[in-house]
Copies of this chain bind each other. A is one copy, B any other.
């Protein structure tokens, strides 16, 4: 975790550090980002950086969770999923996915940060600090799978861990593909519709 001391810094300096870190992580991804460049850009010394953050991974985790928070603040909380039948389930998923992607495409730097997520998630140094972030995304997917099974939208003959792993893998591949295509706002709904139809095909009963 970020150390509590950080909150006591003048907001301007907090912002300088976070902005420098966001720039660096968005541009280079987790592993190739340089802490030395961050402290140089932010105008602080290495000692200060390690006084406020336990290390590179903690800094990344803090930046990423801040960005996630802002993204959710824009898009709104995840919707209720088990309020209808299977078709309803999937159309709610598609709608929410579409809104998320729209918001993401609207802020390229944030998109670049999340694009580097896949890389970061395989880095041992990062995985130790990932706990907090994971608890914001994986449980939601777990609940979504459970809700889908409740309304007969998701098959029940496979372990939930496998369904989740596959959905995450598909999502990652789709996100990377979409971000590399840079679709306009008109084409986006069609693309998202196709992606959700693929997920539906993979996991539905």
Chain A interface residues toward B at CB < 8 A: 29, 31-32, 118-119, 122-124, 157-158, 161-162, 165-166, 168-170, 172-174, 176-177, 194, 198-199, 201-204
Contact of A169 among B124, B161, B162, B174 (CB under 8 A): B174
Given known A31-B31, A202-B198, contact A165–B174 (CB-CB < 8 A): yes
In Å, the complex CA distance between A176 and B172 comes to 14
Q: How many copies does the complex hold?
A: 2
Question: What is the predominant secondary structure among interface residues of chain A facing chain B?
Answer: helix
Q: Is the CB of B173 within 8 A of A177?
A: no
Contact between A166 and B198, CB atoms less than 8 A apart: yes
Residues on B with beta carbons closer than 8 Å to the beta carbon of A118: 122
Q: Contacts of A199 on B, CB cut-off 8 Å?
A: 202
When distances are taken between beta carbons in the complex, the residues of chain B under 8 Å from A194 are 157-158, 162
Q: Are A165 and B158 closer than 8 Å at their CB atoms?
A: no
- Out of B119, B157, B176, B202, which one reaches A170, CB within 8 Å? B202
Given known A32-B124, A119-B122, A203-B201, contact A169–B173 (CB-CB < 8 A): yes
Q: Tell me which of A119, A157, A161 has the highest count of chain B C-beta atoms within 10 A of its own C-beta.
A: A119
A204 to B200, alpha carbons, bound, how many Å? Answer: 12
A168 partner residues in chain B, CB cutoff 8 A: 173
Complex interface: chain B residues within 8 A of A29 (CB): 122
